[in-house]
Structure 1
Amino acid sequence: MVVYSALPDPELTALLKEGDETAFTEIYNRYWKLIYAHVYKMIREEDDAKDVVQEVFSNLWLKAAAIKNNTNISGLLYTAARNRVFDLIEKNKVRSDYIGEIAAFLSDPRNDQVDTIDEKRILEILEREIQKLPPKMREIFEMSRKEDLSHKEIASKLNISEQTVKKQVQNALKAIKPKLNDVGVGIWILLLFR
C-alpha cells in the first residue's frame, strides 16, 4: 500500500498527472496553507485569498495532465497564485480607474446629465457594480438584497457561518456605496440599502 504522505513531490506530481485524486489531496494538504499565507500577504483580504487558493488548486486538478515532467510542484503553485493575485489587482485597478472617470464626468458641473440621472439609470449603475463583485460575495449580496433572505437563511442555504454572510454583505456594501456616491446618487443608498 502506497503511503502518499511519505512520497516526494516529483512522485506525487507524476501520480497527479495520471489523475490520481489521492495524490492531488496530498499535494493540497501539503501546500494550501503556504499558498494561502503567500496570497494573503500580498492582498490582505481573507475571502479573496481563499478564492485565489481555491482557483489555483482547481486549475491544478483540471490541468494536471498538461503538467510537464520534472515540474517543481511548489514552484508551479506559487507562480500560479502570484499570477492570479496580479490579475486580481489589475482587474481592481482598471475597475477603479473606470469608476473614477465616470465619477469625474458626472460630478463636473458643466454636465447637465448630473441633474437628469433617474431611478432607472441609478439601478443600472447599481446592477453593474453588483455584477463586478467577486462571485461568492455577489451571490450572498443578491440573496440578501434581492431575495430578502436573512443572514441566517443565507448561511443555512450556502452551508457557511452567519459571520461569513455578514462580512460578505458588509464588504459588498463597502465596494458599492462609494461608487454610487461618486456618481452623485448618495441619497439612493438610503433607499436601496437597509
Structure 2
Amino acid sequence: MSVYSNFSDEELTVLLKRGDQPAFTEIYNRYWAEMYFHTFRMLKEEESSKDVVQDVFSTLWLKSSSLNERTKLSGHLYISVRNKVLNLIAQHKVRNDYLSSVAAFVSQTTTESTLYDEREILDIVEAEIRNLPARMQEIFNLSRKDNLSHKEIAEKLGISDQTVKKQVQNALKIIKGKVPVVESGLFALFLLR
C-alpha cells in the first residue's frame, strides 16, 4: 500500500502541482473508475468514454503546474469530463451537419460531379488522406475530422502553430490535385472550411 493512498485530495493536489508522479498515479487510481462511469452514463459508448477519461487525466498531468491548490480535485475532474463530453457531442453534430451539407451539394450538382456519387467522392478523398505522409495525415485529421484549431493541434503535438498551418495547406494542395471534382466546388465545400 502506497503512502500516497493516505493523503487527502488537497495534499495530492499540492504534490501534483509540483510535478510529483506518484501523486498523479494515486489521483488516477482513486478517480479513474468514477470518471469512467460518469462519462459512460453520458456517452453510452465504452471506447469513447475511455478516450474522454484518458484525455482528462492527460490534461490534468500536462497542466498540473497551473492547477489552483485550493481546487476541489473531484469537482475539477467532473467538470473536465463534462466539458470533454459536451465538446465531443458538439464535434459529432458538426461533422454530421457537415456531411449532410456535402450530400445536399452533391445531389444538386449536374456538371462534372454527376460522374461521381457522394460515396465515391468521399472514398477518393479518404484514400488521398490515407496516402499523405504519416505526420501530415495526423495533423490533417486532427484539423478536419476532430475539428481542432491549429493552436490545439500544436499544443497536442508539441509543434508550432505555423507548422500545423503549413502541414494542413500542403495536405490540401496534395488532395486537391487528386480529387476529380475540384472544378464543381465540392472540394472547397468538403475540405476548405
Counterpart for residue 97 of structure 2: 97
**What's the Cα RMSD here?**
2.6
1:25 equivalent in structure 2: 25
The gaps in structure 1 that reach 5 residues or longer are 135-194
SS at match of 2:103: helix
The reply on whether 1:124 has 2:124 as its aligned counterpart is: yes
Identity %: 45
Which amino acid is 2:44 matched to?
A: R
**Native 8 Å contact 1:35 1:77 kept in 2:** yes
- After TM superposition, give the deviation of residue 74 of structure 1 in Å: 0.6
Check whether the contact 1:13–1:73 (CA below 8 A) recurs between aligned residues: yes
Query: How far off is 1:115 after superposition?
Result: 2.3
The alignment covers a number of residue pairs equal to 132
Structure 2 counterparts to residues 144-183 of structure 1, below 5 A: none
Kept in 2, the 8 Å contact 1:106–1:113? The answer is no
Distance 1:99 1:120, change over 3 A: closer
Q: Specify every segment of 5 or more residues in structure 2 that has no aligned partner in the other structure, as ranges.
A: 131-140, 147-193
Q: Kindly indicate whether the alpha-carbon contact (under 8 Å) linking 2:36 and 2:49 is maintained by their aligned counterparts in 1.
A: yes
Report Cα offsets for 1:99-126 as digits up to 9, x if no partner: 0011122224x63445222898454333
After superposition, give the CA deviation of every residue in 1:109-165 in whole Å (9 maximum; x if it has no partner).
Answer: x6344522289845433348974667xxxxxxxxxxxxxxxxxxxxxxxxxxxxxxx
SS at match of 1:71: coil
Tell me how far apart the structure 2 counterparts of residues 68 and 49 of structure 1 sit (CA, whole Å). Answer: 26
User: Given the two structures, how large is their TM-score scaled by the length of structure 2?
Assistant: 0.61
Scaled by the length of structure 1, the TM-score of the pair is 0.61
Aligned twin of 2:9: 9
